[in-house]
Chain A
Amino acid sequence: TQLLEQSPQFLSIQEGENLTVYCNSSSVFSSLQWYRQEPGEGPVLLVTVVTGGEVKKLKRLTFQFGDARKDSSLHITAAQPGDTGLYLCAGAKSGNTGKLIFGQGTTLQVKP
């Protein structure tokens, strides 16, 4: 059972376009993290959101945590080729599990 559904799985766009990646669940998360991973490397943390309705901005990236803390989105404005990579959302449920639940990932290709 995939607890975190990430969409779309693949996205190929032209430089300058905007895009949104979604991360949805029927479960409530105490926090949610977004990572970007390059081929052959470890995931690099982009942001952690913990409060329902929270919005965080990182340059051209805007992250939102749903009011009910069941979903999140990542919006990229004016995408650049350097944004190319695998984007992963990962949620932590309440309880002492030490386990992040990962979405399947969104592979983004930004063409010059």
Chain B
Amino acid sequence: EAGVTQSPTHLIKTRGQQVTLRCSPISGHTSVYWYQQALGLGLQFLLWYDEGEERNRGNFPPRFSGRQFPNYSSELNVNALELEDSALYLCASSLGWSAPGNTIYFGEGSWLTVV
């Protein structure tokens, strides 16, 4: 069974540009989560999508946004990139937040470098 897959794995962008990161959840999982892991910082919760709707977002500015498609895959968009946005962006999926013993599986991440 395929795990959570993310693309691209690495990318370099210039400050002010926009970026789109993609995520395919584990088959059967309806919830998708996005986290940011910057150097020296822990994993910071960005967004949670379930059944195509944004259910919660972390303490990030509105230029961080995303969506979830009918097939449960998801995109994370970051506009007006800043140097501090350089980080590993992790996508995760699960059966559903309220599922008993909800277990969340992470992908390999997308490394974003902003120069």
Asked if A82 is at the interface of the complex by the 8 Å CB criterion, the answer is no
For the complex, give the distance between the alpha carbons of A92 and B99 in Å.
12
The verdict on A11 contacting chain B, using a C-beta distance below 8 Å, is no
Partner of B45, one of A35, A40, A43, A99: A99
The proximity string for B residues 68-94 relative to A, scoring 1 for CB distances below 8 Å and 0 otherwise, is 000000000000000000001010000
Shortest CB-to-CB span from B69 to chain A, Å, is 18
**Contact assessment for B101 and A50 in the assembled complex, using a CB-CB cutoff below 8 Å:** yes
User: Given that A48-B101, A97-B56, A97-B97 are known contacts, is A102 also in contact with B42, CB under 8 Å in the complex?
Assistant: yes
Q: Which range contains the number of B residues in contact with the other chain?
A: 20 to 34
Q: Contact at B97–A104, with CB atoms within 8 Å?
A: no
Q: How many A-B residue pairs have CB under 8 A?
A: 65
Q: Does A33 contact B (CB under 8 A)?
A: yes
Q: Which residues from chain A contact B104 at a C-beta distance below 8 Å?
A: 33, 45, 90, 100
Chain B residue at smallest Cβ distance from A92:
B102
Q: Which residues 62-80 of A sit at the B interface, judged by CB distance below 8 A?
A: none
**Which of A35, A42, A102 is within 8 Å of B109, CB to CB?**
A42
Contact A98 B42 (CB under 8 A): no
Q: Are A98 and B90 in contact (CB under 8 A)?
A: no
A96-B97, A97-B56, A98-B50 given as contacts; is B31 within 8 A of A41 (CB)? no
Complex contact A42–B106 (CB within 8 A): yes
Q: Does A100 lie within 8 Å of B55, measured CB to CB?
A: no
Listed in ascending order, the chain A residues whose CB lies under 8 Å from chain B are 31, 33, 35, 40-45, 48, 50, 88, 90, 92, 96-100, 102-105
A98, B103: Cβ atoms closer than 8 Å: no
Chain A nearest CB: distance from B85 CB in Å? 18
Beyond A48-B103, A102-B43, A103-B42, 20 extra complex contacts between A and B, CB < 8 Å: A31-B101, A31-B102, A35-B106, A40-B88, A40-B109, A42-B4, A42-B90, A42-B108, A44-B106, A48-B102, A50-B101, A90-B43, A90-B104, A96-B56, A98-B31, A98-B55, A98-B97, A99-B58, A100-B33, A104-B42
